[in-house]
Amino acid sequence: MAALFKQEIENCLPSVKDRIVRDFLAPFRDLMGKWMFLNQICSVEGCEISGRFIIRNAGNLDTPASPVRFYLSEDGIYDEGKDLLLKEVRTKAIESGESQSIWLDYRLKPGQDGRRKYIITIIDGENRVVESNKRTIMLLELLSKT
Protein backbone atom coordinates (compact mmCIF):
# COMPACT_ATOMS: atom_id res chain seq x y z
CA MET A 1 0.00 0.00 0.00
CA ALA A 2 2.78 2.45 0.93
CA ALA A 3 4.71 1.62 -2.24
CA LEU A 4 1.61 2.30 -4.36
CA PHE A 5 1.06 5.62 -2.58
CA LYS A 6 4.71 6.59 -3.12
CA GLN A 7 4.42 5.71 -6.83
CA GLU A 8 1.29 7.85 -7.17
CA ILE A 9 3.07 10.79 -5.55
CA GLU A 10 6.03 10.38 -7.93
CA ASN A 11 3.62 10.55 -10.89
CA CYS A 12 2.10 13.87 -9.77
CA LEU A 13 3.02 17.24 -11.20
CA PRO A 14 6.08 18.61 -9.35
CA SER A 15 4.06 21.41 -7.73
CA VAL A 16 1.43 18.96 -6.45
CA LYS A 17 4.12 16.52 -5.30
CA ASP A 18 5.93 19.27 -3.35
CA ARG A 19 2.70 20.35 -1.69
CA ILE A 20 1.79 16.79 -0.65
CA VAL A 21 5.23 16.21 0.84
CA ARG A 22 5.33 19.62 2.54
CA ASP A 23 1.80 19.59 3.94
CA PHE A 24 1.20 15.92 4.67
CA LEU A 25 4.44 13.97 4.76
CA ALA A 26 6.99 16.51 5.92
CA PRO A 27 9.13 15.36 8.83
CA PHE A 28 8.30 17.14 12.08
CA ARG A 29 8.88 17.11 15.82
CA ASP A 30 6.08 17.66 18.31
CA LEU A 31 6.55 17.50 22.07
CA MET A 32 3.41 17.03 24.15
CA GLY A 33 3.10 16.84 27.90
CA LYS A 34 0.59 15.67 30.49
CA TRP A 35 0.48 15.17 34.23
CA MET A 36 0.11 11.64 35.53
CA PHE A 37 -0.40 13.07 39.01
CA LEU A 38 0.26 16.30 40.88
CA ASN A 39 -0.40 17.04 44.52
CA GLN A 40 0.67 18.94 47.59
CA ILE A 41 1.09 17.43 51.02
CA CYS A 42 1.34 19.73 54.03
CA SER A 43 2.51 18.89 57.52
CA VAL A 44 3.77 20.90 60.46
CA GLU A 45 7.17 21.14 58.70
CA GLY A 46 5.68 22.77 55.60
CA CYS A 47 4.22 21.86 52.22
CA GLU A 48 5.75 19.71 49.50
CA ILE A 49 4.62 19.63 45.88
CA SER A 50 5.18 16.40 43.98
CA GLY A 51 4.13 15.04 40.64
CA ARG A 52 5.00 12.99 37.60
CA PHE A 53 4.97 14.65 34.18
CA ILE A 54 5.24 12.72 30.91
CA ILE A 55 6.69 14.28 27.75
CA ARG A 56 5.94 12.49 24.48
CA ASN A 57 7.38 13.10 21.03
CA ALA A 58 4.32 12.78 18.78
CA GLY A 59 6.32 13.75 15.71
CA ASN A 60 8.08 11.56 13.19
CA LEU A 61 11.58 12.95 13.89
CA ASP A 62 13.66 12.60 17.06
CA THR A 63 13.80 15.68 19.29
CA PRO A 64 16.98 17.10 20.80
CA ALA A 65 17.53 17.42 24.54
CA SER A 66 15.69 20.45 25.90
CA PRO A 67 14.76 22.15 29.18
CA VAL A 68 11.39 21.73 30.88
CA ARG A 69 10.47 24.32 33.52
CA PHE A 70 7.86 24.09 36.28
CA TYR A 71 6.44 27.32 37.75
CA LEU A 72 4.01 28.05 40.57
CA SER A 73 1.53 30.71 39.44
CA GLU A 74 -1.27 32.65 41.15
CA ASP A 75 -3.42 32.92 38.03
CA GLY A 76 -2.35 30.22 35.53
CA ILE A 77 -0.83 32.77 33.15
CA TYR A 78 2.96 32.65 32.84
CA ASP A 79 4.51 35.94 33.98
CA GLU A 80 8.30 35.97 33.75
CA GLY A 81 9.82 37.21 37.00
CA LYS A 82 6.53 36.95 38.88
CA ASP A 83 5.88 33.20 38.87
CA LEU A 84 8.06 31.03 41.13
CA LEU A 85 10.41 28.67 39.26
CA LEU A 86 10.14 25.37 41.09
CA LYS A 87 12.41 23.23 38.96
CA GLU A 88 14.17 23.05 35.61
CA VAL A 89 15.02 19.66 34.11
CA ARG A 90 16.86 18.94 30.89
CA THR A 91 15.30 16.06 28.98
CA LYS A 92 17.34 13.59 27.00
CA ALA A 93 16.76 13.40 23.25
CA ILE A 94 13.39 11.74 22.66
CA GLU A 95 12.91 9.42 19.72
CA SER A 96 9.83 9.64 17.52
CA GLY A 97 6.83 8.11 19.30
CA GLU A 98 8.69 7.71 22.61
CA SER A 99 8.09 9.29 26.05
CA GLN A 100 10.10 10.45 29.03
CA SER A 101 9.03 10.87 32.67
CA ILE A 102 10.00 13.87 34.76
CA TRP A 103 9.47 13.94 38.51
CA LEU A 104 8.68 17.19 40.29
CA ASP A 105 9.54 17.39 43.98
CA TYR A 106 9.67 20.82 45.59
CA ARG A 107 9.46 21.86 49.24
CA LEU A 108 7.88 25.28 49.66
CA LYS A 109 9.34 27.73 52.16
CA PRO A 110 7.71 27.73 55.59
CA GLY A 111 4.40 29.57 55.41
CA GLN A 112 4.03 29.08 51.62
CA ASP A 113 1.10 27.09 50.32
CA GLY A 114 0.13 26.00 46.81
CA ARG A 115 -3.62 25.80 47.41
CA ARG A 116 -5.67 27.28 44.58
CA LYS A 117 -2.49 28.02 42.62
CA TYR A 118 -1.40 26.65 39.28
CA ILE A 119 1.60 24.68 38.12
CA ILE A 120 2.69 25.88 34.69
CA THR A 121 4.96 23.54 32.76
CA ILE A 122 6.91 25.01 29.86
CA ILE A 123 8.16 22.36 27.46
CA ASP A 124 11.27 23.06 25.38
CA GLY A 125 12.27 26.30 27.06
CA GLU A 126 14.89 26.98 24.33
CA ASN A 127 12.20 26.89 21.63
CA ARG A 128 14.06 24.35 19.49
CA VAL A 129 10.98 22.26 18.66
CA VAL A 130 7.53 23.27 17.48
CA GLU A 131 4.91 22.01 19.93
CA SER A 132 1.19 21.73 19.42
CA ASN A 133 0.85 22.91 23.04
CA LYS A 134 3.95 24.51 24.55
CA ARG A 135 2.41 25.10 28.00
CA THR A 136 0.59 22.68 30.23
CA ILE A 137 -1.27 24.21 33.17
CA MET A 138 -2.80 22.37 36.10
CA LEU A 139 -4.53 23.59 39.22
CA LEU A 140 -2.66 22.31 42.24
CA GLU A 141 -4.87 20.26 44.52
CA LEU A 142 -4.14 20.15 48.21
CA LEU A 143 -3.88 16.92 50.12
CA SER A 144 -3.40 17.77 53.78
CA LYS A 145 -1.43 15.57 56.12
CA THR A 146 -0.62 16.58 59.65
Q: What is the pLDDT of residue 30?
A: 81
Residue 22 lies in a domain: no
- Taking CA atoms, 2 is separated from 6, 20, 60, 134, in Å, by 6, 14, 16, 32
Q: Note whether residue 96 is domain-resident.
A: yes
pLDDT at 28: 75
pLDDT of residue 142: 43
CATH number, residue 129: 2.60.40.10
Containing structural domain, residue 114:
27-144
pLDDT at 145: 42
The pLDDT, as a whole number, for residue 4 is: 63
CA 100 vs. chain centroid, Å, equals 10
pTM over 0.95: no
Q: Is residue 21 one of the residues assigned to a domain?
A: no
- Distance from C-alpha of 4 to C-alpha of 25, rounded to nearest angstrom: 15
What CA–CA distance (Å, rounded) separates 17 from 125? 35
Q: Write the single-letter amino acid at 30.
A: D
Strand 31-43 to 46-57 pairing: antiparallel
- Decide if 102 is inside a domain: yes
**What total of structural domains would you count in the chain?**
1
Mean pLDDT by 10 residues, the chain (146 residues): 62 64 65 89 89 89 90 88 93 92 94 87 75 62 43
Element (H, E) at 39: strand 31-43
6 in any annotated domain: no
Instruction: Give domain status of residue 20, yes or no.
Output: no
34 in a structural domain: yes
In a domain, 140, yes or no: yes
